[in-house]
């Protein structure tokens, strides 16, 4: 059972809803991103969406667009998200999901991306610009790695 499933099961038993926080990785720095996630976890956040900075974040509002632009200027990449996730995984058990756009994933290759996501400890992936009708190949690769 994936950490996301476990968390929702636990919350359902307690008749609670999930508090899920979104944070752009690398804004303002990777170190601050880590500190914020750990502090938010201690404060009761159940899951985290780790925003992968992207050059053209069409599904995001102006605040996240600005945070992404700032992070990109400071060389934050998909590899940075994986690295931070791997480091966070040693410090907390909360489900970690990556929210990002399809192009960097496709560029890395679906199998490679899925394996890297598993190795660093991601539990789920959210891709707002990938239509569900076109997601079967990635979904298959992620499922093989136990990632939602």
pLDDT at 40 over 80: yes
In Å, how far are 23, 52, 75, 81, 90 from 71, measured between CA atoms? 12, 9, 6, 11, 23
What per-residue confidence (pLDDT) applies to 59? 73
60 is a catalytic site residue = yes
**Domains of the chain, CATH where assigned:** 19-144 (3.20.20.70)
Q: What is the DSSP-derived secondary structure letter of residue 132?
A: G
What per-residue confidence (pLDDT) applies to 38? 98
Catalytic option among 10, 34, 56, 60: 60
Q: What is the pLDDT of residues 117-132, one digit of tens each?
A: 999 999 999 999 999 9
Q: What is the pLDDT of residues 77-116, one digit of tens each?
A: 999 999 999 999 999 999 999 999 999 999 999 999 999 9
49 is a catalytic site residue = yes
Residues 6+ apart with CB under 8 A from 12: none
């Amino acid at each position: 059972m994936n950490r996301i499933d476990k968390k929702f099961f636990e919350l359902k038993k307690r008749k609670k809803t999930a508090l899920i926080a979104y944070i752009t990785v690398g804004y303002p720095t990777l170190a601050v991103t880590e500190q914020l996630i750990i502090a938010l976890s201690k404060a009761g956040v159940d899951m985290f969406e780790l925003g992968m900075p992207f050059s053209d974040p069409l599904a995001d509002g102006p605040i996240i667009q600005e945070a992404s632009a700032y992070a990109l200027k400071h060389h934050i990449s998909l590899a940075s998200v994986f690295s931070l996730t791997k480091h966070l995984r040693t410090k907390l058990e909360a489900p970690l999901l990556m929210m990002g756009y399809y192009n960097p994933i496709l560029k890395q290759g679906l199998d490679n991306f899925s394996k890297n996501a598993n190795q660093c400890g991601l539990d789920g992936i959210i891709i707002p610009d990938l239509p569900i009708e076109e997601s079967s190949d990635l979904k298959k690769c992620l499922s093989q790695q136990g990632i939602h």
